Chains A and B, each alone.
Chain A
């Protein structure tokens, strides 16, 4: 039977490969220099949705909350095979912590209509909190299964294999459900060339400007909702709806230690070990 699948995805700075090049003179990371990418585990969640649709049929909606530039992630989702996409963008959403984010995402999922499985990555690589999935599940009042590696659907039941320390467990729940997808789930298929050619012209109304009315009949106008579209109060969104506040950010400075150079020779290494023994390190 076909299922309604919703993928929650986030555009993030690529923090996973911070090497020397992204480091500033003072030993801190130049975050602005990091490229914006599809959060890796969210891409795995999209792949899981695609393979569910391959097996059972159904429809995939991808939702992202972010600044207008996050439309790029939605185009990317269309290239990979999403049926519909939705940008949640509003100045009133700015400064949201995980709780305020889950309020907006849950409301958007609800407004899209009936759903069977909501999928998202376990965590995003910028914040690494892993909180938005479970908080959204609670707001939707559905069961959550976290760290999922693979899932099967049968009627109104989901059976999921989830990663746990040192192994895995198999868990069953009734639909609808929210699953968070673990990094060990199958990798995403490449974007389809034909879909890329077709959807690279897709734009949000803000991006398209005067051309928006021409894009809509072609199915190339990317939908965008703000706070008013979701019927949310300002108190529940963005900075105002966030119980937590960041009060200080310190860049990690990788202090230079005085390094003693050791020659890679027999004598050099023997000398090093002797020194470690004298210092009672060995």
Chain B
């Protein structure tokens, strides 16, 4: 088999491989087939050996496992040492991380150690050729990394022509998770390096989290409210419409910043990217940051009092009017037909 390799640095959340990492294993397999490479995953933590088969089932050929008590809590420097160890011993051409808070903490530290190129928050990865216009040098089979910048107003394509590995963090939910095939088999490589005590530079004293209350990513119907809703109290209208339609509540950044609703409901560039069958934007003007997170929805309904609001540019149905009148009518119409 080829010794070329595409490596995914997997993240463990609540004792299982994070969805984003499984999405990336699927994407990694796609890139690997174009490169004639195999796909590996790095899994670090305590008691994580049992997760290797899940990575294999999703498409990994090799799983690099560092299962050590000192890795029980995530620490940038110790995890970076583990990733560097596997990169140095296996020399993958491409290394991909989820653009989660942990991935975005870890990847730049590793990039700095390896002097590797790193592109943050990619929304697209592909393999392709590139000719440097300055040196006329031609490069074959580079990782083409696309990402939004300038608040989502541009999409940049970035390559890393010479340094290896080529590294990216990739946004959650933009790659499609492949089917799991429990009958697949793969190789497991155990971490045999050292984790000296001076690499454990941070100690977690306390952690408080609440279970995620919203599942925007998987929702078929999303009803979002913006500044136009006016207050946290009036945001109840959005909750009621979502309930009447069997949907999930979303929000614009402005609504979140104004305290109308919690941040985990935020749709957009810095929130969640959604692709529901139906997206209703009520009182949302439609900044480019918001549009970046919802423009792929199959059907978009915009409700806004301002007929010039940019959201109407991408809406399939536009309702110009006061949402405090329109939304109750919609709730009634939804209930009337048992919908």
Contacts and interface: CB of A to CB of B under 8 A. Distances in A.
Given A249-B156, A262-B318, A254 B112 contact: no
A281 B317 contact: no
B149 A126 contact: yes
B151 A166 contact: no
B288 A254 contact: yes
A246 B157 contact: yes
Contact of A252 (B148, B207, B319): B148
Contact of B112 (A16, A135, A249, A252): A135
Nearest to A180: B105
Interface residues of A, number: 83
B301 A272 contact: yes
Interface in A40-82: none
A6 interface: no
A164 B154 contact: no
A134 B313 contact: no
Given A244-B119, A264-B329, A255 B76 contact: no
Looking at chain B's contact residues, the main secondary structure is: mixed
B109 A166 contact: no
Contact of A269 (B115, B203, B333): B333
B138 interface: no
B320 A255 contact: no
B51 interface: no
A14 B154 CA distance: 14
B212 interface: yes
A171 B202 contact: yes
B91 to A, nearest CB: 16
Interface residues of B, number: 94
B243 to A, nearest CB: 14
Interface stretch (B39-47, B159-167, B184-192): B159-167
A18 B117 contact: no
Nearest to A97: B117
Given A131-B108, A134-B112, A16 B151 contact: yes
Nearest to A167: B209
Interface stretch (A136-144, A196-204, A223-231): A136-144
Contacts of A263: 319
Nearest to A254: B313
Interface in B110-160: 111-113, 115-121, 130, 132, 144, 148-160
Contacts of B3: none
A127 interface: yes
Interface in A150-186: 159, 163-174
A183 B245 CA distance: 34
Contacts of A143: 76-77, 201-202
Contacts of B77: 143
Interface in B319-336: 319-322, 325-326, 329-330, 332-334, 336
Most buried by B among A97, A130, A260: A130
Interface of B: 76-77, 80, 100-101, 104-105, 107-109, 111-113, 115-121, 130, 132, 144, 148-163, 201-212, 221, 245, 264, 269-270, 277-278, 285, 287-289, 291-292, 295, 298-303, 308, 310, 312-322, 325-326, 329-330, 332-334, 336-337, 339
Q: Which 10 A-B pairs have the closest CB atoms?
A: A264-B321, A15-B151, A243-B117, A167-B209, A29-B153, A143-B201, A243-B163, A138-B112, A129-B120, A131-B108
11 contacts: A129-B121, A130-B104, A131-B104, A163-B101, A171-B204, A245-B132, A250-B157, A261-B318, A264-B319, A269-B330, A273-B334
